Structure 1
């Protein structure tokens, strides 16, 4: 037997890029609340006070890692910041609202959490392409879907809701599983049809797992999100293939459908609820919205301060809770909650951000479809739809808002400008 003189075994080298990708994926996975939040949930399905304090402590290293990753690329972050100043204003407004908040300490604390959450979105937007972002989302949510199904088999006493017995998997509530499953269906479906990724087998398995989680969760909002994903995917696909007058007609039709949907959301919610055999008020949302609208009109310009309305020390919130006999944690509508927080001065930049990103995203998809802008456009649209019945908009430590913010910033930073 001969041994080569001077032979040195090859060392496994891990690139800094791969490490960065893994770190960002882990950070996003933590923000999903998978397993962590469920571990501190009591028998009734509510997060315990001790568990809430523990989770807040666990967020500190997450924030520190996020800051350290962002600090390595200051120029890219500043460039992205300048590329969407209205979005930057949305980050600053919660801090400013401390001046008129009904609970300044809570507003300041939650504003810091929002800013650090959005910092992670800036990292994703500046360091990854749309396709790389797609792979990260599939990895994070796909893992959660598979683990949720395994949890249902291995630990059914924890995997199902205490009341109703719908599947919640590794999350603390069935709706959270449903929302994430709907987004995972969108992501895996796009990965499945992406010929450059060559991951059709994996995408098929994760797509099936996501569908199972969606159906077992019994979440009405998640079903609406999935249907909206299909609708917007069809619209953007047809727009890409159309030309001239046909494209204009499609845009007008899509705009009219969206406008009618927004104006008749109350009726649609009631019809959906009756269709799935639930309370026509959709678990009290409709009467809640009526009371919330009254409080929005009381402070229409500035609002009540960022996330300060739904607090124990706010008497106006107690009036709503007393009338409904239900302690609602939020308005179950992201746009209403933002108006409660920052009023008209916060709504104007929000609408500006949404209008600009929808126009820029459509332009990028029309002119550079090979870069994978389709799924980001659909993600942005379905997140808007989701916030018609849920409050996920501009919420700190929310995985869904972080990936929405990353999509907005990524589209805003896309080279090229829409034609006038």
Structure 2
């Protein structure tokens, strides 16, 4: 029996052979990680804000708006490399996706459609970057990248305050307070409170480099103190206390019971103090009984919300029309109020009561999922639970929810989306 002669096989082109036998994509992976850290740094508005924008009206800067275009293009490119994973993440977060999409729909009823269209697009791109982070990185990788970004912010802020004190230190209203690479001291303090929390999580996720993360936690803590921001100090205390509580809970049932008992007791005592001596407590924190006039603003804004309870005035449009409803707010308070100084009230002005309900639902569901990981020995609990708690605390007196190009919102989106993956 004869066999047919084998055909000659043409040699594989050198370029294809090199591609086929290449040692993986570690270089491209490093590029993605570097891009993630750089984008997080930019979203924090560190350095670029004080240099290119007016602190009184940062969104009026044309240069600052142009800076975001390459970031949006990079976001789309990164998503295009992993379309299946990103689409799967979007499918797991229908409520959050619907909430963000509602900002674009609000163009229909917005009192300033151009502003709503532009800013809702920026919010969608910011949220998409958070979704990409959740789809691209594992919990450990994401924590280390976030901690690296905050470490870069902390180091650059310390260098700015020491080397260029005219920019890094306040010389006006809060003379001597450090503000680093930000517009004001409160922003530096708030960022560094989150930075300390990310360092705690990185310490658990990467114990081999413990001294790097311990040093970062100490630097962030020092910057919180140097900023003299009492709200930031309260956030740092919440994050640090939360980390200690999580660690104690994971030591066993006895420790968990003790921590829960002390937490419940502390909550009851705080409630009693607020009922019996609220003025003295606020003064101890450096606030007056009206939270520096915020309650007066809220009373007037609630009336404006009830004028359009189901739609609001359009995403980020309420404050842009000088002769619109904002006129009566500023006339009633006798000063140019820039924001609602409350996260949920700001959403109500933009999207009405439906937007508030969606936001509260997304937040509480994510918070419950994060709390469900306390006993799991997973490092992400130290970051995601504390970050959600700090975000909720800050929203009481600041309009920090659903802001476009906001690091806080991106971190919330990434954390919520990652938790949703685990729930499935």
Q: Answer whether TM exceeds 0.5 for this pair.
A: yes
Q: Which runs of 5+ in 1 are unaligned?
A: 1-10
Change (3 A) 1:94 1:85: same
Structure 1 residue 24 and structure 2 residue 26: aligned?
A: no
Query: Residue 181 of structure 2 aligns with which residue?
Result: 170
Secondary structure in structure 1 of the residue aligned to 2:208: coil
Query: Residue 10 of structure 2 aligns with which residue?
Result: none
Q: State which of 221, 232, 240 in structure 2 corresponds to 1:230.
A: 240
Higher Rg: 2
8 Å CA contact 2:330–2:337 kept in 1: the answer is yes
Measured against aligned partners, the alpha-carbon deviations of 1:297-341 in whole angstroms (never above 9, x if no partner) come to 222222111111111345221211122222222111111101111
Measured against aligned partners, the alpha-carbon deviations of 1:264-322 in whole angstroms (never above 9, x if no partner) come to 69x86x55541144544333222112222221222222211111111134522121112
Query: Residue 315 of structure 1 aligns with which residue?
Result: 324
Could you tell me the TM-score, scaled by structure 2's length? Answer: 0.85
Secondary structure in structure 1 of the residue aligned to 2:378: helix
Secondary structure in structure 2 of the residue aligned to 1:315: coil
Structure 1 residue 39 and structure 2 residue 39: aligned?
A: no
Q: Which moved more, 1:231-240 or 1:124-133?
A: 231-240
Residues of 2 paired with 1:413 and 1:252: CA distance?
Answer: 32
1:18-417 map, 5 Å: 18-41=30-53, 45-46=55-56, 52-163=61-172, 164-165=174-175, 166-192=177-203, 194=204, 196-237=206-247, 240=250, 250=260, 257=267, 271=280, 273-366=282-375, 368-370=376-378, 372-415=380-423
Task: Give how far 1:47 is off.
Answer: 5.0
8 Å CA contact 2:111–2:321 kept in 1: the answer is no
Residues of 1 paired with 2:179 and 2:379: CA distance?
Answer: 35
Q: Which moved more, 1:29-38 or 1:369-378?
A: 369-378
Measured against aligned partners, the alpha-carbon deviations of 1:15-47 in whole angstroms (never above 9, x if no partner) come to 2211111111111111111111111255xx545
8 Å CA contact 2:224–2:232 kept in 1: the answer is yes
8 Å CA contact 1:364–1:414 kept in 2: the answer is no
Residues of 2 paired with 1:242 and 1:14: CA distance?
Answer: 40
Secondary structure in structure 1 of the residue aligned to 2:338: coil
Q: Which runs of 5+ in 2 are unaligned?
A: 1-22
Q: Which moved more, 1:94-103 or 1:284-293?
A: 284-293
8 Å CA contact 1:380–1:404 kept in 2: the answer is yes
Residues of 2 paired with 1:372 and 1:48: CA distance?
Answer: 33
8 Å CA contact 1:228–1:385 kept in 2: the answer is no
Residue correspondences, number: 400
Change (3 A) 1:360 1:329: same
Change (3 A) 1:132 1:197: farther
Residues of 1 paired with 2:286 and 2:388: CA distance?
Answer: 29
Task: Give how far 1:106 is off.
Answer: 1.0
8 Å CA contact 2:111–2:313 kept in 1: the answer is yes
Root-mean-square deviation (CA, aligned residues, Å) is 3.2
Residues of 2 paired with 1:197 and 1:310: CA distance?
Answer: 47
Task: Give how far 1:228 is off.
Answer: 1.9
Measured against aligned partners, the alpha-carbon deviations of 1:37-64 in whole angstroms (never above 9, x if no partner) come to 111255xx545787x1101011111110
Residues of 2 paired with 1:296 and 1:286: CA distance?
Answer: 15
Q: Which moved more, 1:125-134 or 1:113-122?
A: 125-134
Change (3 A) 1:355 1:277: closer
